[in-house]
């Protein structure tokens, strides 16, 4: 019975949330529900499905990764999502897993991916899984954001830079929250920025390791 439960994706998700997410103090019901709902095993490359619910990041090709489940949950919870329909800009679509989690949290997601191969394959997968009405994708330089759809209620960056590009803050709405990994190869932290009365305040959450955010130098 225990072996069968480990092989059943729904049972694996339940165990993942119990041990890795709720067990580490995340209690936001939106986030917990989303992590239980999204079939993470569909977002990893073939051959890695058995590791989809493990407590670690996994490679997805082209130098990109699908983040550790706990990190996805923690960054999502730090967005402090308050209601359905909040507009979220995601910088770096990657596998599409984070975008699907945001959609399950009730968000309208605008996600930008610079690698065309990932943009194409992830777009097909999100459509197949029924997320195309809640997730819009753009092939381009995510460090520039998506100004045509600004302002955003929340912004989530899924690659690390020494500083969050200023243009992203310019696309944030009033009372917005920006969550991003900040730092370099020697160390990174999840940094949370919150706008209140026109001013930005920030705090560091915990150490992480992300792939670097690639910015177009001509931008």
Handedness of CA 116, 122, 125, 126 (dihedral sign): negative
- Residue found by looking up tokens 């997601």 in the block: 109
SS3 string, the chain, reads CHHHHHHCHHHHHHHHHHHHHHHHCCCCHHHHHHHHHCCHHHHCCCCCHHHCCCCCCEEEECCEEECCHHHHHHHHHHCCCCCCCCEEEEECCCCCHHHHHHHHCCCEEEEEECCHHHHHHHHHHHHHCCCCCCEEEEECCHHHCCHHHCCEEEEEECCEECCCCHHHHHCEEEEEEEEEEEEECCEEEEEEEEEECCEEEEEEEEEECCCECCCCCCC
Bridge partner residues of 161 (DSSP): 182
What is the rounded CA–CA span in Å between residue 151 and residue 173?
A: 5
Q: Which among 27, 37, 67, 132 is annotated as catalytic?
A: 67
Q: Is 132 one of the catalytic residues?
A: no
Catalytic positions, written as ranges: 67
């Amino acid at each position: 019975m225990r072996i069968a439960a480990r092989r059943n994706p729904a049972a694996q998700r339940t165990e993942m949330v119990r041990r890795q997410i709720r067990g580490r103090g995340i209690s936001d019901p939106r986030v917990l529900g989303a992590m239980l709902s999204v079939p993470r095993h569909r977002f990893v490359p073939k051959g890695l499905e058995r590791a989809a619910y493990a407590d670690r990041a996994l490679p997805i090709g082209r130098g990109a990764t699908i983040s550790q489940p706990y990190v996805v949950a923690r960054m999502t919870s730090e967005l402090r999502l308050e209601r359905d329909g909040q507009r979220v800009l995601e910088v770096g679509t990657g596998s599409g897993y984070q975008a699907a989690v945001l959609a399950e949290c009730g968000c309208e997601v605008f996600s930008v991916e610079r690698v065309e191969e990932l943009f194409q394959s992830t777009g097909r997968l999100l459509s197949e899984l029924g997320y195309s009405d809640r997730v819009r994708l753009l092939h381009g330089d995510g460090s520039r954001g998506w100004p045509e759809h600004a302002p955003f209620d929340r912004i989530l960056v899924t690659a690390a830079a020494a500083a969050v590009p200023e243009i992203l803050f310019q696309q944030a709405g009033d009372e917005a929250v920006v969550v991003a990994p900040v730092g370099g190869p020697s160390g990174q932290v999840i940094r949370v920025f919150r706008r209140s009365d026109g001013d930005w305040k920030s705090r560091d959450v915990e150490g992480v390791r992300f792939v670097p955010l690639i910015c177009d130098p001509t931008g």
